[in-house]
């Protein structure tokens, strides 16, 4: 996969390995969004299989079509900050996965309480800082 990329290869003004790591971070974030929709509904082994299949059949083709000069890019599609490749792609996969798998175990029978309120506060603070740049 990376056999034609040398350690000193430069693409524009950045090293190609840095670009690969940057694109990989987008893929990891997208998978994290989907897994959040499937939490407590699916086994971990099934998640691993799903991630490999979904990355191969959905994420990589869409990322190429939008960011790699493919079909959508040639028709003038613009994607700012991963709106199409990351967020729309993850939302559709999460919705379809949650619909196909069904409700969480115990849904409607017992109230789900937050597991750790300090972690809820910490996560909210991190999101706030990231969104507003404080």
CA distances, 54 to each of 10, 33, 79, 128 (Å): 30, 13, 20, 30
The whole model's pTM is what? 0.75
Please give the chain's pLDDT, 134 residues, in tens: 567 767 676 777 778 888 888 889 999 999 999 999 998 889 999 999 999 999 999 999 999 999 888 898 899 988 887 888 999 999 999 999 999 999 887 777 877 777 788 998 999 999 889 888 66
The contacts of residue 71 (CB under 8 Å, 6+ apart) are 65
Q: Which residues pair with 10 in a beta bridge?
A: 15
For residue 101, which of 45, 49, 37, 51 has the smallest C-alpha distance? 37
Give the length of the chain: 134
């Amino acid at each position: 996969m990376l056999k034609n990329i040398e350690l000193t290869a430069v693409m524009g003004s950045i090293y190609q390995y840095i670009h690969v790591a940057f694109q990989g971070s987008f893929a990891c974030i997208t998978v994290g969004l989907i897994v959040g929709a499937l939490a407590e509904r699916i086994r971990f082994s099934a998640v691993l299989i799903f991630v490999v299949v979904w990355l191969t059949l959905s994420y990589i083709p869409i990322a190429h079509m939008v960011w790699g000069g493919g079909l959508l890019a040639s028709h003038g599609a613009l994607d700012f900050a991963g709106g199409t490749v990351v967020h729309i792609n993850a939302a559709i996969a999460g919705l379809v996965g949650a619909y196909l798998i069904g409700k969480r175990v115990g849904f409607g029978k017992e109230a789900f309480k937050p597991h750790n309120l300090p972690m809820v506060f910490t996560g909210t603070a991190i999101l706030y800082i990231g969104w507003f740049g404080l």
